[in-house]
Structure 1
Protein backbone atom coordinates (compact mmCIF):
# COMPACT_ATOMS: atom_id res chain seq x y z
CA UNK A 1 0.00 0.00 0.00
CA UNK A 2 1.33 3.41 -0.91
CA UNK A 3 1.27 6.19 1.65
CA UNK A 4 -0.37 8.47 -0.87
CA UNK A 5 -3.74 7.55 -2.36
CA UNK A 6 -2.50 8.21 -5.87
CA UNK A 7 0.53 9.40 -7.74
CA UNK A 8 -1.46 12.26 -9.17
CA UNK A 9 -1.01 15.79 -7.91
CA UNK A 10 -0.78 15.82 -4.11
CA UNK A 11 -0.27 18.66 -1.69
CA UNK A 12 2.37 18.33 1.00
CA UNK A 13 2.53 20.90 3.78
CA UNK A 14 5.46 21.52 6.08
CA UNK A 15 6.14 23.09 9.46
CA UNK A 16 9.52 24.16 10.83
CA UNK A 17 9.58 23.39 14.56
CA UNK A 18 12.39 25.74 15.57
CA UNK A 19 12.35 24.67 19.23
CA UNK A 20 13.26 21.08 18.33
CA UNK A 21 15.06 21.96 15.07
CA UNK A 22 12.94 19.60 12.99
CA UNK A 23 10.79 19.89 9.90
CA UNK A 24 7.48 18.02 9.83
CA UNK A 25 5.98 17.23 6.43
CA UNK A 26 2.48 15.84 6.02
CA UNK A 27 -0.18 15.37 3.37
CA UNK A 28 -3.74 16.59 3.74
CA UNK A 29 -6.22 13.88 4.80
CA UNK A 30 -3.39 11.42 5.60
CA UNK A 31 -1.94 10.30 8.93
CA UNK A 32 1.57 9.84 7.52
CA UNK A 33 4.24 12.24 8.78
CA UNK A 34 7.80 12.71 7.57
CA UNK A 35 10.13 14.12 10.23
CA UNK A 36 13.42 15.62 9.04
CA UNK A 37 16.14 16.46 11.57
CA UNK A 38 19.48 18.02 10.71
CA UNK A 39 21.97 16.39 13.10
CA UNK A 40 25.24 17.74 11.65
CA UNK A 41 26.31 19.60 8.53
CA UNK A 42 26.53 16.26 6.68
CA UNK A 43 23.97 14.09 8.51
CA UNK A 44 20.23 14.57 7.99
CA UNK A 45 17.82 12.12 9.60
CA UNK A 46 14.53 11.27 7.87
CA UNK A 47 11.87 9.45 9.88
CA UNK A 48 8.63 8.14 8.38
CA UNK A 49 5.63 7.69 10.64
CA UNK A 50 2.94 5.94 8.54
CA UNK A 51 0.36 6.15 11.34
CA UNK A 52 1.30 9.66 12.48
CA UNK A 53 3.47 8.30 15.30
CA UNK A 54 6.52 6.02 15.48
CA UNK A 55 5.82 2.38 14.61
CA UNK A 56 8.48 1.24 17.09
CA UNK A 57 9.78 2.95 20.21
CA UNK A 58 13.43 2.00 19.68
CA UNK A 59 16.00 2.50 16.93
CA UNK A 60 19.33 0.97 15.96
CA UNK A 61 19.96 3.29 13.00
CA UNK A 62 22.41 5.90 14.29
CA UNK A 63 25.68 5.14 16.09
CA UNK A 64 26.48 7.12 19.24
CA UNK A 65 29.36 9.56 18.79
CA UNK A 66 30.98 8.86 22.17
CA UNK A 67 30.87 5.03 22.18
CA UNK A 68 30.91 4.53 18.39
CA UNK A 69 28.35 1.76 18.90
CA UNK A 70 24.64 1.11 19.34
CA UNK A 71 23.40 -0.66 22.49
CA UNK A 72 22.06 -4.19 21.88
CA UNK A 73 18.58 -3.15 23.07
CA UNK A 74 18.66 -0.02 20.89
CA UNK A 75 17.80 3.47 22.06
CA UNK A 76 14.55 5.32 22.46
CA UNK A 77 13.83 7.18 19.24
CA UNK A 78 13.10 10.49 20.93
CA UNK A 79 16.46 10.48 22.77
CA UNK A 80 18.42 11.03 19.57
CA UNK A 81 18.99 14.71 19.07
CA UNK A 82 21.46 16.75 17.12
CA UNK A 83 23.20 17.70 20.38
CA UNK A 84 24.56 14.12 20.54
CA UNK A 85 26.33 14.53 17.21
CA UNK A 86 27.71 18.03 17.08
CA UNK A 87 29.53 20.14 19.63
CA UNK A 88 28.94 23.29 17.64
CA UNK A 89 25.68 24.57 16.25
CA UNK A 90 24.64 23.23 12.88
CA UNK A 91 22.79 25.90 11.02
CA UNK A 92 20.48 24.90 8.21
CA UNK A 93 17.96 26.67 6.06
CA UNK A 94 14.52 25.56 4.96
CA UNK A 95 13.21 27.53 1.99
CA UNK A 96 10.12 26.99 -0.13
CA UNK A 97 10.70 28.00 -3.74
CA UNK A 98 8.50 27.18 -6.76
CA UNK A 99 6.59 24.31 -5.08
CA UNK A 100 9.79 22.77 -3.72
CA UNK A 101 11.18 22.65 -0.20
CA UNK A 102 14.96 23.06 -0.04
CA UNK A 103 16.71 22.05 3.19
CA UNK A 104 20.39 23.00 3.14
CA UNK A 105 23.46 22.86 5.34
CA UNK A 106 27.01 23.88 4.44
CA UNK A 107 27.67 20.57 2.66
CA UNK A 108 24.38 18.85 1.77
CA UNK A 109 21.04 19.87 0.30
CA UNK A 110 17.81 17.94 0.01
CA UNK A 111 14.98 18.92 -2.32
CA UNK A 112 11.37 17.81 -1.81
CA UNK A 113 8.66 18.57 -4.38
CA UNK A 114 5.50 19.67 -2.56
CA UNK A 115 2.97 18.66 -5.26
CA UNK A 116 4.15 15.10 -5.90
CA UNK A 117 4.35 12.03 -3.64
CA UNK A 118 7.05 12.41 -1.00
CA UNK A 119 10.52 11.80 -2.43
CA UNK A 120 13.88 13.40 -1.68
CA UNK A 121 16.66 14.40 -4.05
CA UNK A 122 19.98 14.59 -2.16
CA UNK A 123 22.64 16.94 -3.55
CA UNK A 124 26.12 18.05 -2.70
CA UNK A 125 27.94 20.83 -4.58
CA UNK A 126 24.86 21.19 -6.85
CA UNK A 127 25.29 17.61 -8.07
CA UNK A 128 22.74 14.86 -7.43
CA UNK A 129 24.15 12.36 -4.97
CA UNK A 130 21.09 10.17 -4.43
CA UNK A 131 17.46 10.28 -5.53
CA UNK A 132 14.36 8.54 -4.22
CA UNK A 133 12.09 6.81 -6.72
CA UNK A 134 9.61 9.60 -7.57
CA UNK A 135 6.66 7.20 -8.01
CA UNK A 136 6.94 4.88 -5.01
CA UNK A 137 9.80 5.97 -2.79
CA UNK A 138 8.27 5.09 0.59
CA UNK A 139 5.87 2.16 0.91
CA UNK A 140 4.29 0.67 4.01
CA UNK A 141 2.21 -2.49 4.18
CA UNK A 142 -0.44 -2.28 6.89
CA UNK A 143 -1.02 -6.03 6.79
CA UNK A 144 2.61 -7.10 7.30
CA UNK A 145 3.83 -3.91 9.05
CA UNK A 146 6.79 -3.84 6.65
CA UNK A 147 8.37 -0.72 5.25
CA UNK A 148 10.12 -0.37 1.88
CA UNK A 149 12.24 2.49 0.57
CA UNK A 150 13.24 2.57 -3.11
CA UNK A 151 15.79 4.70 -4.94
CA UNK A 152 16.15 5.52 -8.61
CA UNK A 153 19.33 5.21 -10.57
CA UNK A 154 20.72 8.05 -12.64
CA UNK A 155 19.48 7.99 -16.24
CA UNK A 156 23.04 8.37 -17.49
CA UNK A 157 24.24 5.24 -15.75
CA UNK A 158 27.24 4.54 -18.02
CA UNK A 159 29.95 5.54 -15.55
CA UNK A 160 28.33 3.84 -12.52
CA UNK A 161 29.23 0.28 -11.58
CA UNK A 162 27.93 -1.91 -8.76
CA UNK A 163 30.30 -4.65 -7.65
CA UNK A 164 29.45 -7.86 -5.83
CA UNK A 165 27.00 -8.72 -3.12
CA UNK A 166 29.00 -11.53 -1.56
CA UNK A 167 27.80 -14.28 -3.89
CA UNK A 168 30.15 -16.27 -6.12
CA UNK A 169 28.09 -16.68 -9.28
CA UNK A 170 27.33 -14.39 -12.17
CA UNK A 171 29.18 -11.34 -13.40
CA UNK A 172 31.00 -9.27 -10.82
CA UNK A 173 29.50 -5.99 -12.12
CA UNK A 174 25.84 -5.94 -11.02
CA UNK A 175 24.98 -2.89 -13.12
CA UNK A 176 21.38 -2.86 -14.51
CA UNK A 177 20.23 -5.64 -12.18
CA UNK A 178 17.41 -5.40 -9.68
CA UNK A 179 17.46 -6.92 -6.19
CA UNK A 180 14.87 -7.28 -3.43
Structure 2
Protein backbone atom coordinates (compact mmCIF):
# COMPACT_ATOMS: atom_id res chain seq x y z
CA UNK A 1 0.00 0.00 0.00
CA UNK A 2 1.30 3.45 -0.94
CA UNK A 3 0.46 6.56 1.11
CA UNK A 4 -1.06 9.62 -0.58
CA UNK A 5 -1.77 13.03 0.99
CA UNK A 6 -4.77 14.83 -0.49
CA UNK A 7 -7.38 16.97 1.29
CA UNK A 8 -10.46 14.82 0.52
CA UNK A 9 -8.71 11.55 -0.20
CA UNK A 10 -7.51 9.22 -1.32
CA UNK A 11 -5.06 8.59 1.49
CA UNK A 12 -3.46 5.54 -0.12
CA UNK A 13 -3.46 3.20 -3.07
CA UNK A 14 -4.04 -0.52 -2.75
CA UNK A 15 -2.72 -2.52 -5.70
CA UNK A 16 -2.83 0.69 -7.75
CA UNK A 17 -6.43 1.58 -6.78
CA UNK A 18 -7.03 4.80 -4.77
CA UNK A 19 -8.65 4.24 -1.33
CA UNK A 20 -9.30 6.20 1.86
CA UNK A 21 -11.71 9.10 1.39
CA UNK A 22 -12.95 11.75 3.79
CA UNK A 23 -16.44 11.09 5.18
CA UNK A 24 -18.06 14.14 3.55
CA UNK A 25 -19.44 15.36 0.21
CA UNK A 26 -16.01 16.13 -1.23
CA UNK A 27 -14.76 12.69 -0.26
CA UNK A 28 -17.76 11.11 -1.97
CA UNK A 29 -17.16 13.19 -5.12
CA UNK A 30 -13.55 12.10 -5.31
CA UNK A 31 -14.41 8.46 -4.61
CA UNK A 32 -17.01 8.49 -7.41
CA UNK A 33 -14.60 10.01 -9.96
CA UNK A 34 -11.87 7.53 -9.07
CA UNK A 35 -14.34 4.62 -9.17
CA UNK A 36 -15.34 5.46 -12.76
CA UNK A 37 -11.70 5.80 -13.79
CA UNK A 38 -10.63 2.57 -12.03
CA UNK A 39 -13.43 0.60 -13.71
CA UNK A 40 -12.40 2.04 -17.10
CA UNK A 41 -8.76 1.09 -16.63
CA UNK A 42 -9.67 -2.41 -15.40
CA UNK A 43 -12.06 -2.76 -18.36
CA UNK A 44 -9.02 -2.27 -20.61
CA UNK A 45 -6.94 -4.78 -18.67
CA UNK A 46 -4.61 -2.08 -17.33
CA UNK A 47 -5.21 -3.07 -13.68
CA UNK A 48 -6.79 -6.27 -12.36
CA UNK A 49 -10.54 -6.02 -11.86
CA UNK A 50 -10.07 -8.09 -8.70
CA UNK A 51 -7.96 -5.27 -7.24
CA UNK A 52 -10.72 -2.76 -8.03
CA UNK A 53 -13.38 -5.01 -6.54
CA UNK A 54 -11.36 -5.62 -3.37
CA UNK A 55 -10.46 -1.95 -2.86
CA UNK A 56 -13.54 0.14 -3.72
CA UNK A 57 -16.63 -2.01 -4.30
CA UNK A 58 -19.30 -2.51 -1.62
CA UNK A 59 -20.07 -5.96 -0.25
CA UNK A 60 -23.25 -6.35 -2.29
CA UNK A 61 -22.95 -4.41 -5.58
CA UNK A 62 -26.02 -3.68 -7.68
CA UNK A 63 -26.66 -5.19 -11.13
CA UNK A 64 -25.18 -2.30 -13.14
CA UNK A 65 -21.97 -2.38 -11.16
CA UNK A 66 -21.79 -6.19 -11.38
CA UNK A 67 -22.00 -5.87 -15.20
CA UNK A 68 -19.09 -3.39 -15.16
CA UNK A 69 -17.06 -5.73 -12.97
CA UNK A 70 -17.70 -8.58 -15.39
CA UNK A 71 -16.48 -6.58 -18.39
CA UNK A 72 -12.94 -6.34 -17.10
CA UNK A 73 -12.64 -9.69 -15.35
CA UNK A 74 -9.51 -11.52 -16.50
CA UNK A 75 -9.00 -9.14 -19.42
CA UNK A 76 -5.55 -8.87 -20.97
CA UNK A 77 -4.21 -5.35 -21.57
CA UNK A 78 -5.52 -3.86 -24.81
CA UNK A 79 -3.30 -2.14 -27.34
CA UNK A 80 -5.66 0.82 -27.63
CA UNK A 81 -6.06 3.24 -24.74
CA UNK A 82 -9.20 5.05 -23.61
CA UNK A 83 -8.64 7.93 -21.21
CA UNK A 84 -11.69 8.98 -19.24
CA UNK A 85 -11.57 12.55 -17.95
CA UNK A 86 -14.13 14.05 -15.54
CA UNK A 87 -15.60 17.31 -16.86
CA UNK A 88 -18.09 18.01 -14.04
CA UNK A 89 -19.10 16.31 -10.82
CA UNK A 90 -22.22 16.95 -8.77
CA UNK A 91 -23.62 15.36 -5.62
CA UNK A 92 -27.22 14.35 -6.33
CA UNK A 93 -27.97 13.02 -2.83
CA UNK A 94 -25.94 12.81 0.36
CA UNK A 95 -26.28 11.41 3.87
CA UNK A 96 -23.80 10.08 6.42
CA UNK A 97 -24.31 6.53 5.12
CA UNK A 98 -24.81 6.99 1.37
CA UNK A 99 -24.18 9.35 -1.52
CA UNK A 100 -25.23 9.52 -5.14
CA UNK A 101 -22.78 11.36 -7.39
CA UNK A 102 -23.10 12.30 -11.06
CA UNK A 103 -19.83 12.31 -13.03
CA UNK A 104 -19.95 13.84 -16.51
CA UNK A 105 -16.97 12.59 -18.52
CA UNK A 106 -15.29 12.77 -21.87
CA UNK A 107 -13.54 9.66 -23.13
CA UNK A 108 -10.69 10.14 -25.56
CA UNK A 109 -9.36 7.24 -27.60
CA UNK A 110 -6.76 7.07 -30.32
CA UNK A 111 -6.63 3.91 -32.37
CA UNK A 112 -6.61 2.49 -35.86
CA UNK A 113 -9.72 0.70 -37.09
CA UNK A 114 -7.55 -2.09 -38.50
CA UNK A 115 -3.82 -2.80 -38.80
CA UNK A 116 -2.13 -0.48 -41.26
CA UNK A 117 -4.89 2.17 -41.14
CA UNK A 118 -4.08 5.66 -39.88
CA UNK A 119 -4.99 6.31 -36.26
CA UNK A 120 -8.22 8.14 -35.51
CA UNK A 121 -9.10 10.12 -32.42
CA UNK A 122 -12.55 9.52 -31.00
CA UNK A 123 -14.25 11.44 -28.19
CA UNK A 124 -17.42 10.42 -26.41
CA UNK A 125 -19.37 12.18 -23.66
CA UNK A 126 -21.17 10.20 -20.96
CA UNK A 127 -22.78 10.63 -17.56
CA UNK A 128 -22.08 8.08 -14.84
CA UNK A 129 -24.15 7.98 -11.67
CA UNK A 130 -22.27 6.32 -8.85
CA UNK A 131 -24.15 5.23 -5.73
CA UNK A 132 -21.77 5.02 -2.79
CA UNK A 133 -22.14 3.64 0.73
CA UNK A 134 -20.00 4.35 3.78
CA UNK A 135 -18.64 0.89 4.55
CA UNK A 136 -15.60 -0.22 6.57
CA UNK A 137 -14.53 3.40 7.09
CA UNK A 138 -14.49 4.39 3.42
CA UNK A 139 -16.74 5.27 0.48
CA UNK A 140 -17.47 2.11 -1.52
CA UNK A 141 -19.32 1.88 -4.85
CA UNK A 142 -22.69 0.14 -4.51
CA UNK A 143 -24.17 0.78 -7.98
CA UNK A 144 -23.24 2.39 -11.28
CA UNK A 145 -25.41 3.52 -14.15
CA UNK A 146 -24.11 5.17 -17.30
CA UNK A 147 -25.68 6.92 -20.25
CA UNK A 148 -24.26 8.66 -23.28
CA UNK A 149 -24.20 12.44 -23.33
CA UNK A 150 -24.90 15.15 -23.04
CA UNK A 151 -22.42 16.70 -25.43
CA UNK A 152 -21.15 20.20 -24.63
CA UNK A 153 -23.51 21.63 -27.26
CA UNK A 154 -26.46 20.14 -25.36
CA UNK A 155 -25.49 21.76 -22.04
CA UNK A 156 -26.04 25.43 -22.85
CA UNK A 157 -29.40 25.40 -21.07
CA UNK A 158 -29.53 22.04 -19.25
CA UNK A 159 -32.93 20.56 -18.57
CA UNK A 160 -33.94 19.44 -15.07
CA UNK A 161 -33.08 15.87 -16.09
CA UNK A 162 -29.55 16.82 -17.20
CA UNK A 163 -26.61 15.81 -15.03
CA UNK A 164 -25.55 19.45 -15.23
CA UNK A 165 -28.77 20.85 -13.76
CA UNK A 166 -27.11 20.69 -10.32
CA UNK A 167 -24.22 23.03 -9.62
CA UNK A 168 -20.96 21.27 -10.48
CA UNK A 169 -18.72 20.82 -7.46
CA UNK A 170 -15.11 21.85 -7.16
CA UNK A 171 -12.48 20.22 -5.03
CA UNK A 172 -12.58 16.62 -6.19
CA UNK A 173 -9.32 14.94 -7.02
CA UNK A 174 -8.88 12.68 -10.00
CA UNK A 175 -6.08 10.16 -9.96
CA UNK A 176 -4.99 8.68 -13.22
CA UNK A 177 -4.83 4.96 -12.64
CA UNK A 178 -2.07 3.43 -14.67
TM tier relative to shorter chain:
0.3 to 0.5
Richer in helix (by share): 2
The structure with the largest alpha-carbon Rg is 1
TM-score scaled to structure 2, two decimals? 0.35
Tell which has more relative contact order, 1 or 2 (C-alpha 8 A, sep 6+). 2
